[in-house]
Amino acid sequence: MSSRTNSTIRPLDPRATESYYRQIYDRFRDAIASGVLKPGDRIPSARALTQELGLSRGTIDTAYSLLAAEGYIEARGQAGTVVTPGLKPRAPVAVVPPRARGDTVAPSFRADSILPFQMGLPALDMFPRKIWARLGARHARSMQPADMANPPAFGLPGLRAQIATYLRVSRGIDCSSEQVVVTAGYRHALGLIARALLKEGDRVWLENPGYPPTRDLLGQWGVAGVPVPVDHEGIVVAEGLRLAPTARMAVVTPAHQSPLGVSLSLPRRLALLDWAADAGAWIVEDDYDGEYRYVSRPLPALKSLDGEGRVLYAGTFSKVLFPGIRLGYLVLPEAQVQRFAEVFHTFAGDTPWLTQAIAAAFVAEGHFARHIQKMRRCYAERREATIGGLKDVLGDRLRIDSPPGGMHLILRFEGRWSPEQLVARMREDGLYGEAMADWMVEGEGMPALLVSFTNIASRARAAELGTRLARLL
């Protein structure tokens, strides 16, 4: 290690059971906690440390990203990487103690880390960055004075038109660009819907288990979530009708129920639409990854059957492009466009012009369709590779539910095990996982671990991760 690191950080131990990245992480954390490294001190660049230690760049990057995610270090561009200024040294927590349910700190569901098995992330290595950069440069160069004013509240007309065309072709939704509104992603869209259509105390059907941010966001609005069970055909509409026939809204994930991955059957789709029409209720269709189906063509959206104008269709670019883009859209029933105008003029229109312009060109020039096709093939392969690699190591101890679509797997292990404890140990070991219990609106749910396969590029890599999982179990 360099003189700076050498004098401050204990050498690595090749015989230790901990992986190298973990040892590096521990060494830096200990040195910071004990005051050997002080706030503002510069630490070696990842490149320099890679060369010095003769380890792979990925190992160093993993250690540094964990340190950065936990606020110990900060990258300062040209000025290098430093111990976070103002950081108060404190004793490191040795291990995350196993937590009983109840004490568990639920994951944020907006994780900004990039760990193996990280949920919610598309395959980051596959994104056509060069094309994106080229489109970005072109739009930045050709920016006109009119582009420098506030973007329109409903989004750039060009992007709205591209989205409407894409939805018509790919998701079977017959809508005009006037019905399409650009948002900063699904959660933003749901907040706008709540402002426009809900009031405190209203009851809303929520899938149980279901995407936690939906539950949390509506909870913040004082809306009462009614947990409705999900079975192999999706949300059990009859149960919703029994529990809360006069609810104001249902939020559903018909393409691939989140997280169980089942598709909402046609009889259930029709029953849900009938209920909404009869009760004057709204349906929010969260179509977050409808494009990614591996056994057949993607299913048409629920919105494509919405003759009565009760469905608000929320799409997002978080999965098909990347979550950092913060871009999504909402398709409003034609008769509701006016009703939403006031809310949008006050609370929308915040997606930067440049982001929208690049996205519009990306779709218009065919890159979007090509990217989705490429990713569908890639995910089918990575899903197989991940299942194969995990099975190679864990064999019959492991049961894997691999739904027909989506971007994650549901793992269950034989014998006694606690998903929450395993998740805590995985985080400690630099792996990501989520416990099914954290996705429950009510009840415990089945003991299961959710992991994503999107960034696991080979069977060998999956087997390597499987070995680490086996050790943690």
Q: Which chain residues interact with ligand PLP by CB under 6 A?
A: 120, 185-187, 211, 253, 258, 286, 288, 316, 318, 323, 328
- Is cis: bond before 209, omega within 30 of 0? yes
Task: Indicate the residue among 160 and 215 with the shorter CB distance to ligand PLP.
Answer: 215
Task: Indicate the residue among 28 and 439 with the shorter CB distance to ligand PLP.
Answer: 439
Q: Which residue is listed with tokens 């072109």?
A: 138
Question: How far is 377 from 267, CA to CA, in rounded Å?
Answer: 30
DSSP 3-state assignment of 205?
strand
Strands (E), 325-466: 328-331, 398-401, 408-413, 434-435, 449-452
256's CB contacts (< 8 A; 6+ apart) are 262, 263, 289, 290, 292, 293, 403, 404, 405, 406
Shortest CB 12 distance to ligand PLP, Å: 36
Is residue 248 within 8 A of residue 282, CB to CB? The reply is: yes
H or E stretch at 26: helix 20-33
Q: Which residue is listed with tokens 């292990």?
A: 413
Question: How far is 65 from 25, CA to CA, in rounded Å?
Answer: 9
Task: Indicate the residue among 241 and 260 with the shorter CB distance to ligand PLP.
Answer: 260
Name the DSSP letter for residue 293: B
Task: Indicate the residue among 117 and 186 with the shorter CB distance to ligand PLP.
Answer: 186
Task: Indicate the residue among 26 and 289 with the shorter CB distance to ligand PLP.
Answer: 289
Shortest CB 229 distance to ligand PLP, Å: 17
Q: What angle do CA 320, 326, 332 make, to 5 degrees?
A: 80
Question: How far is 458 from 259, CA to CA, in rounded Å?
Answer: 24
Shortest CB 211 distance to ligand PLP, Å: 4
Task: Indicate the residue among 81 and 258 with the shorter CB distance to ligand PLP.
Answer: 258
Shortest CB 412 distance to ligand PLP, Å: 20
Shortest CB 445 distance to ligand PLP, Å: 16
Question: How far is 147 from 351, CA to CA, in rounded Å?
Answer: 13
Longest distance between any two alpha carbons in the chain, whole Å: 74
Shortest CB 2 distance to ligand PLP, Å: 40
Shortest CB 108 distance to ligand PLP, Å: 12
Q: How many CA atoms does the CB half-sphere of 404 hold within 13 Å?
A: 17
Shortest CB 350 distance to ligand PLP, Å: 14
Strands (E), 192-310: 203-208, 224-231, 234-235, 249-252, 282-287
Which residue's Cβ lies closest to ligand PLP? 185
Amino acid symbol at 446? M
Task: Indicate the residue among 321 and 456 with the shorter CB distance to ligand PLP.
Answer: 321
Amino acid symbol at 106? A
Is residue 381 within 8 A of residue 389, CB to CB? The reply is: no
297's CB contacts (< 8 A; 6+ apart) are none
What are 225's strand-pairing partners? 204
Shortest CB 121 distance to ligand PLP, Å: 8
Shortest CB 207 distance to ligand PLP, Å: 9
Task: Indicate the residue among 63 and 264 with the shorter CB distance to ligand PLP.
Answer: 264
Task: Indicate the residue among 156 and 325 with the shorter CB distance to ligand PLP.
Answer: 325
Task: Indicate the residue among 211 and 340 with the shorter CB distance to ligand PLP.
Answer: 211
Question: How far is 393 from 412, CA to CA, in rounded Å?
Answer: 14
